[in-house]
Structure 1
Amino acid sequence: MTLWLLVPLLGLIAILQTTLVPRLAIAGFKLDLPLLVVVAWGLIGRPGEAAAWGFIAGIFLDLMSGLPFGTHTLALTGVGLVMGLAQSTIFHSNVILPPAAVILATLGHNVIVLGLLNTIGWPIPWNDYLLRVTLPTALLNTLALPIVYFPLPRLHRRLRPQVEW
């Protein structure tokens, strides 16, 4: 996808994550829209593209969050890189693996963020956070995956038309 469309799209997603998504929280839990978009693109895009998406989305989130700059960028880039590599070997028309990928990506993203914060001296209640925040968020992200996942292949085909021989 061209950067002329990708950067505004990911900027809009980051704005939605910081403004609208908290208002749509279910029992205090909110889905992670940028993570879902990075995971979904990792499942359908070329290897490496999801890492670029994660990098750009992470920069936007870092600009809008109170966490140290680079936290979201490193976490989303890492998740995007793993998703792109896994997609090239595993995720070809498998129905069960995309939800599993979202669960693992949510867990991985949160562990990276918490690890980075712990490294710079923030006190992190690991057990409480992983059990009370990460697992419900992973479930919510998994339930929301079809909303994000199914429009992206159409966008992928539209922006990158297939060459017929």
Structure 2
Amino acid sequence: MRYAFLTFLFIISYIIESTVFSFFPVAGVKPDLILIFVVFYALLKGPKEGVLAGLIGGLTEDIFFGHFIGLNAFPTLVTGFLFGLLEKKVYKENFFIPILTVIAATWLNQSLVFLLGLSIEGFPANYVAVFQNVIFPTLIYNSCLSPFIYGKFYKSTQKRFFRQPDY
């Protein structure tokens, strides 16, 4: 049930990202809400859950985006795993943790998407130009949204679908 709800959350996030945030682009880019949720979920639940959230979130983007299956799934899965490793190492109630993790995760994820896309497509590209025009504005947008999303998301993980069962 938890993964069905997570999939539903990612689909809704993608719809909001594609509709509402299309009207509010920053430097021509939209935020990556799915990545934000994957990072927060991984940070709160650990690497195994982070991998699953990354896979579900990345496949959701791949299915809707429609270019190559795996172009977003693999980088988002890796990002979910790596930030899940921080679960027991950071104080989750710290105001700066969501901002800093989203900054690092956006850079990592977008760089992996760039490298994977470069290897699949085979076209020459300039990472510096991609960083300036895509990665950096997305990083800023995501980090500005993260404190507002994190508080609600953190509370929701303590209840209902996201709460770990007590054994």
User: Does TM, normalized by the shorter one, top 0.5?
Assistant: yes
Distance 2:112 2:95 in 1: 27
Q: Which runs of 4+ in 1 moved over 6 A?
A: none
Select between 20-29 and 117-126 the one with higher mean Cα deviation.
20-29
Amino acid at match of 1:128: A
Q: Cα 1:24–1:124, aligned 2, differ >3 Å: closer, same or farther? A: same
What is the alpha-carbon root mean square deviation over aligned residues?
Answer: 2.1
Aligned to 1:50: 50
Structure 2 counterpart SS, 1:87:
coil
Structure 2 counterpart SS, 1:124:
coil
Structure 1 counterpart SS, 2:46:
coil
Q: Quick check: 1:38–1:80 contact (8 Å CA) kept in 2?
A: yes
Aligned to 2:83: 83
Q: Cα 1:66–1:124, aligned 2, differ >3 Å: closer, same or farther? A: farther
Q: Taking every aligned residue pair, what percent have the same amino acid on both sides?
A: 26
Q: CA deviation at 1:146?
A: 1.5
- After superposition, give the CA deviation of every residue in 1:33-73 in whole Å (9 maximum; x if it has no partner): 11111112122223321221111111111011143221110
Aligned to 1:37: 37
Amino acid at match of 2:142: N
Structure 1 counterpart SS, 2:158:
helix
Q: CA deviation at 1:28?
A: 1.7
TM-score for the superposition, normalised by structure 1: 0.87
Superposed, which structure 2 residues align to 1:137-156 within 5 Å? Answer: 137-156=138-157
Q: Quick check: 1:91–1:98 contact (8 Å CA) kept in 2?
A: no
**Which consecutive unaligned segments of at least 5 residues does structure 1 have?**
none
Structure 1 counterpart SS, 2:47:
coil
Q: Quick check: 2:47–2:82 contact (8 Å CA) kept in 1?
A: no
TM-score for the superposition, normalised by structure 2: 0.86
Amino acid at match of 2:138: T
Q: CA deviation at 1:161?
A: 6.8
Distance 1:161 1:69 in 2: 30
- After superposition, give the CA deviation of every residue in 1:122-150 in whole Å (9 maximum; x if it has no partner): 33221101122211211111110012211
- After superposition, give the CA deviation of every residue in 1:57-93 in whole Å (9 maximum; x if it has no partner): 1111101114322111011111100110122323444
**Which consecutive unaligned segments of at least 5 residues does structure 2 have?**
none
Aligned to 1:2: 2
Q: CA deviation at 1:162?
A: 7.2
